Chains A and B, each alone.
Chain A
Amino acid sequence: MEIYLYLALFSPLVGSLFAALFTTKSKTLVAGVVPSLLLFTSFVSSSILLVHILNGGAPVHVEMMTWMATGDLYIPFGFVVDQVSVTMMMVVTIVSTVVHVYSIGYMDHDKSFNRFFAWLSAFVFSMLILVMSDNYAGLFIGWEGVGLCSWGLIGFWFHKESASWAANEAFIMNRIADLGMLIGIFLVYWNTGSLQYDHVFEAFKGLDVDTLALIGIFLFIGAMGKSAQFPLHTWLADAMEGPTPVSALIHAATMVTAGVYLVVRSNELYSLIPEIGLFIASLGAFVAIFAASMALVNRDMKRIIAYSTLSQLGYMFAAAGLGAYWVALFHLMAHAFFKALLFLGAGNVMHAMHDELDPFKMGGLGKTMKATMVMMTLASVALAGLFPLAGFFSKDAILEAAFVEHHYVIYSVLLFTAGLTAFYSFRLVALIFHGEERYTLFGIHPHEAYKFMLVAMSPLLLLAIIAGSLKMTYFEMVTAILPDIEYHIHSHVTFWIMTIGTQLFVVIAILYAYKKYTTIGMNVPDGTSETENTFMYKLLKNQYYIPYAYDEYIVKPYTKLSALFWTEIDQKVVDATVDGIAGVIYDSGEQTRDMQDGNLSTMLRWMVIGTIALLILAVMFGLTARYAHVLG
């Protein structure tokens, strides 16, 4: 089995290096095809490993070589394929294979086609390192690696100021969280003497709760950065500057779920500190509704989906925080499929509309883009959580978990958010594909995407539909290492009321959105209508003024303070003192040079002064020596 592990892990690296060979050359199809094939290899290997694990095989654990060893610290390049990591590997390899193939079409006309695939495959490699490592340091390699690739891909079109700005923002904001993660790793090492998962988890049982809580908090800070949880969430929406396949792969399906993975992987830690878990769950629920509310009024197709991702990440953290680790992982998986599908669909729309992002300038695209419409609609249905698509099973499980654990506030927030989700998803679908053909005003002739791109998307569609039915198989598999709590509502009546109630609520939200945004002569927001001038609308439209506040109260003061440090302190205080001291020495030399001007009478005068000074000194020393015993 080890060979499959290495194949799964290193194929993307080979693909990336291969594509990198062509980066300075003009577009070469092979630079896209070879990485895609290698990713498919990686996918096949992962599937073999999945089958192995499903058949009750032992986790595959290899130690490739030593990375760092000093003092008592020993960190190997070690990889483990167990129930949790194989789930992640499947998600990563499926979505990335699809995205790679899709990108061959999507990036068709881009002059940096080759560079794109080098970065994209490098990302997959980093992500696999992240999920497959058997220790926290290895995880951190992947953690930073995906951050790097995300930087390279958000800023892919680096000639755009907004893109390179967003890339830097994402990198730096992630770095802030990474410091927390690093401190968490230090804490783990100094308290357990190791960073290997198996050893660490064993040692956790003997530690006091305060230390564990501290470890839990710091590791979670790391998770907050990658998974863009409040208050480190602003980078995710800005990350939409990258090419759309990147948004599908990195900023929806894989990298942003790394934080969830970290919490699930450390479940043995978080199980010991339920208070921290509750905090995570509450923050998750808050982010769920917070992000969904921003999606309600936004006019940028990709940002709407990004906020939706944020919101769904909140769901995952809510589940993980409440101890329902397998549910969190299940929602992660289901979400990866339908959200990637949604993004790729959005990519098709963007191509058709010449990179237009405002859904209010679209409408009626369903006529020309039937396949895309079907896919995006189904993906939205799955996202909204309607039976029998994937989202229903995973989201329902989260709601049930919150209910069964008696966290009714979290439950209500998540339930309400489900309605919001349905509303904004179908607002988007309605605005893009139905109603008036508003795009005609802009003289655009939309066309459907390449056939092979649609075919490439179809596995995701299939999975978005059927993933729910795999729930029990999946449950049996992962609970071999995750807590196997089944969340059953005991009373049948309550169960049915809840399920049907939720479904009805969602359906109503969908119908309302559909009706509101397909009516002929619908108001296109232009800043004049009454709703647009309400405080609430403005608040949501400006993302609660958080990006503004960050810019105003962090970025600008930092820049100003830096300039101040340089000109006022470094030059005018520190360096001026040095030069001042040198100046004093120099001046005193200048002043005293007259003493040696060669004039005999001046020299004689100084000689007399010198003699007197020496005499005084001699007398003083003599007296002190004589009377030392008296003084002492």
Chain B
Amino acid sequence: MVDHILSILIFFPALAGMFGFMINKDSIRAYGVAVGVIEFALSLLLWFWFDGGVAGMQFMEQIPLLPSFGINYILGVDGISLFIIVLSAFITMIGIASLTETPNVKNMIVTLLFLQMTMVGVFSALDGIVFYVFWELSLVPMLYIIGAWGGPLRIYASIKFFLYTFAGSLVMLVGMLFMAYFYYQATGEWSFAILDWYRLILPENLQLWLFLAFFLGFAIKVPMFPFHTWLPYAHGQAPTIGSVILAAILLKMGTYAFIRFSLPMFPDASVALMTPIAIIAIIMIIYTAMVAFAQKDVKQVVAYSSISHMGVIIIGTFALNVEGISGSVFLMIAHGVVSGALFLLVGVIYDRRHTKLMSEFGGLAHVMPRYATIFGLMLMASVGLPLTINFVGEFLSLLGFYQQSHILTLLAGTAIIVGAIYMLAAYKKMFFGDVTKEENKNLPDVNKRELLALIPLSIITIWLGIYPKPVLEPINKSAEAIVQLMHDKSITDEAKMRIPSPLNKAQTSQTSSEGAH
């Protein structure tokens, strides 16, 4: 089982989903929860078996598919993908468990299980084509969730979401074909294996073109400014569960792919394009935070805040040092937990009042104190208060980027100000003041089923904020390996200088600390 744990993790939910069609409608919820729990337990097992001291890929599986074209079914995890896999199992489990009254609940649960297959697949694929297949397949269940259970504009939103991200991924596919072709030119053999691609040293101008091809696919997924406009529609129309998974996991595919593909494959291009990308990220941080401040609908506030936080993740990724990359991976997990919780919280009030307009609320802290407390905690995590999970990621991302540019970090650091502005304003509108609307006077506080989802998320938010080590350590190990790889294979002088070798640095700091003693 140890050897095939990744395949099991991928295909168990899909298989269970297929059986799900045969389950009686009344017991489908219990069935879904059970599958979710088993899947989560399996992912914990993966974590348990994972050797934190190893930087490279673990649990590798390889089955030839089209060997003559170098297309193989290759899986593996390292510290970077491990926790995103655990997180997707966790969020799916929580999502199914907290699912509210939904029409066609059976279809919903089956869809979610299929979605889970594609998510785990993306994060464990080590072959370009397998990655691409899961990447694109993940669009289908999401399209269905938005299109079938969404709000009034659901068709427009779901088609926009699908076509936009699909168009981007096609360009990425072309990039992949080129990579395989270059590998063929260099070695005489075709290969789509990502680890093979890592070994390829490409000239700088080629790197730039390929980087841009991959970039388009990733940037739309993240989504980066100015490719972000599909996101507010998707969130605005999607049911709560759709938003939770979209924000918590699907967006991470883009940022994860940057670290898995762009950085190690194109180190020189990454250095060359660092500044423009950082500027885009800063626009994401400030501009979308301001747009979030202008929103009237609380769900849109959270949606835009996601884009703003993704900007910080991008900044951390393109810090190109261990601190920054570890920080950005950690922030992916953190943002998954916190934005997932925030969307669930928005869902709680939407279920009660069937509106998300903040002007409809006010004074909710009087009537729903528990809800206000959990919302407050998640608000503070989102704002990046120390000892919450977000702070660790945000702090490390910005700290890392400071090595590359002082001014840009200062600008990106405004995230902690603008984030506080829109979040506190939204909280004030919803929870403070007197209860003015008659409908709000007797709202029931969060119920048991909602707490079932929210309390674990709250615990993780604080636990990993105080003690991030269990997660940060494996991430750090793999981030070191990536930075080392980038340093070694970079060809331009600038890249060699910009990407510090963790190995050398460890040695120098060791000698300096010895000198200090």
Query: Which residue of A is nearest B413, CB measured?
Result: A179
- Does A69 contact B473, Cβ atoms closer than 8 Å? yes
Let me know if A193 and B480 touch, CB within 8 A: no
Question: Is the CB–CB distance between B293 and A559 below 8 Å?
Answer: yes
Known: A158-B433, A168-B425, A172-B424. A72 touches B291 (CB 8 A): no
Q: Find out whether the CB atom of A159 lies under 8 angstroms from the CB atom of B363.
A: yes
* Interface check A202, CB cutoff 8 A: yes
B298 → chain A, closest Cβ, in Å?
15
Tell me which of A68, A70, A155, A570 contacts B432 (CB under 8 A): A155
Interface pairs A-B: 5 shortest CB-CB: A71-B322, A575-B229, A164-B432, A186-B402, A562-B294
Q: Knowing A164-B433, A190-B402, A578-B229 are in contact, say whether A70-B476 is a contact too (CB < 8 A).
A: yes
In chain A between 169 and 190, which residues have their CB closer than 8 angstroms to a CB of chain B?
171-172, 175-176, 178-179, 182-183, 185-187, 189-190
User: Given contacts A155-B432, A175-B420, A190-B402, is CB(A566)–CB(B413) below 8 Å?
Assistant: no
Contact of A565 among B226, B291, B516 (CB under 8 A): B291
Chain A residues closer than 8 Å to B506, beta-carbon distance: 72
Which stretch in B131-139, B333-341, B385-393 binds the other chain? B385-393
The reply to whether the CB of B403 lies closer than 8 angstroms to some CB of chain A is yes
Residues of B82-139 whose CB lies within 8 A of A: none
Chain B positions 6 through 22: 1 when the CB is less than 8 Å from some CB of chain A, otherwise 0? 00000000000000000
Question: Interface digits, A1-44 against B, CB 8 Å rule (1 contact, 0 not)?
Answer: 00000000000000000000001100000000000000000000
* Contact of A68 with B396 at beta-carbon distance under 8 Å, contacts A172-B417, A565-B287 already known: yes
Contact A570 B229 (CB under 8 A): yes
Residue on B with the closest CB to A182? B413
State whether B290 touches A179 (Cβ < 8 A): no
Given contacts A71-B323, A72-B509, contact A562 B293 (CB under 8 A): yes
CA distance A182 to B411 in the complex (A): 12
**Docked-complex contact A171 and B424, CB < 8 angstroms:** yes
Are B295 and A158 in touch, CB under 8 angstroms?
no
Partner of A172, one of B291, B420, B433, B472: B420
In the complex, given contacts A144-B385, A155-B432, A558-B293, what are 7 additional A-B residue pairs having Cβ atoms less than 8 angstroms apart?
A70-B396, A71-B323, A140-B386, A175-B416, A178-B416, A183-B402, A582-B160
Tell me whether B417 and A176 are in contact (CB under 8 A): yes
List residues of chain B with CB within 8 A of the CB of A164: 428, 432-433
Cβ–Cβ < 8 Å partners of B410 in chain A: 179, 183
Q: Does A73 sit within 8 A of B, measured CB to CB?
A: yes
Could you tell me if B293 and A186 are in contact, using CB atoms closer than 8 angstroms? Answer: no
Produce 1/0 per residue, A156-172, CB < 8 A to B: 00110100110010011
User: Is B62 interfacial (CB-CB < 8 Å)?
Assistant: no
Looking at the complex, which one of B287, B370, B414, B428 makes contact with A168 (CB distance below 8 Å)?
A: B428
Which residue in chain B gives the minimum CB-CB distance to A187? B402
B residues less than 8 Å from A559 (CB atoms)? 293-294
Do A179 and B414 contact each other (CB < 8 Å), given the known contacts A148-B380, A562-B294? yes
User: Chain A 189-226 against B: per-residue CB contact (8 Å), 1 yes, 0 no?
Assistant: 11001000001001000000000000000000000000
Q: Interface residues of B, CB < 8 Å — how many? A: 69
Main secondary structure of the interface of B (DSSP, over half): helix
Q: Can you list 24 contacts pairing A with B, beta carbon distance less than 8 Å? A: A67-B467, A67-B468, A68-B392, A70-B396, A70-B479, A71-B322, A71-B326, A71-B502, A73-B323, A155-B432, A159-B434, A172-B417, A179-B417, A186-B398, A186-B402, A186-B409, A558-B293, A558-B421, A562-B290, A565-B291, A570-B291, A575-B229, A578-B160, A578-B164
Q: A residues touching B (Cβ–Cβ < 8 Å)?
A: 23-24, 65-73, 137, 140-141, 144-145, 148, 151, 155, 158-159, 161, 164-165, 168, 171-172, 175-176, 178-179, 182-183, 185-187, 189-190, 193, 199, 202, 558-559, 561-563, 565-567, 570, 574-575, 577-578, 582
CB distance from A492 to the nearest CB of B (A): 48
Q: Which residues of A contact B424 (CB under 8 A)?
A: 151, 168, 171-172
| In the assembled complex, B327 has its CB within 8 A of some CB on chain A | yes
Does residue B366 face the partner (Cβ distance < 8 Å to A)? yes
Complex Cα distance A23/B164, Å?
Answer: 48
A567 to B294, CA, bound (A): 9
Contacts A23-B369, A158-B431 known; A565 to B294 CB distance under 8 Å? yes
In the complex, A176 Cα to B428 Cα: how many Å?
19
List A contacts of B291 (CB < 8 A): 562, 565-566, 570
CA distance A217 to B369 in the complex (A): 42
Contact digits for B153-182, partner A, Cβ 8 Å, 1 yes 0 no: 000000010011000000000000000000
* CB atoms of B467 and A65 under 8 A apart: yes
Partner of B468, one of A68, A144, A558: A68
Contacts of A185 in B (CB 8 A): 399
With CB as the reference atom, state the residue of chain A lying closest to B419. Answer: A175
Residues in chain B near residue A171, CB distance under 8 A: 420, 424
Please give the distance in Å from B351's CB to the nearest CB on chain A. 21
Contact A193 B226 (CB under 8 A): no
Q: Do B164 and A565 have beta carbons less than 8 Å apart?
A: no
User: Chain B residues near A172 (CB, 8 Å)?
Assistant: 417, 420-421, 424
Residue on B nearest A576 in the bound complex, by CB: B229
Asked whether A574 and B229 contact (CB < 8 A) given A24-B369, A68-B468, A70-B396, the answer is yes
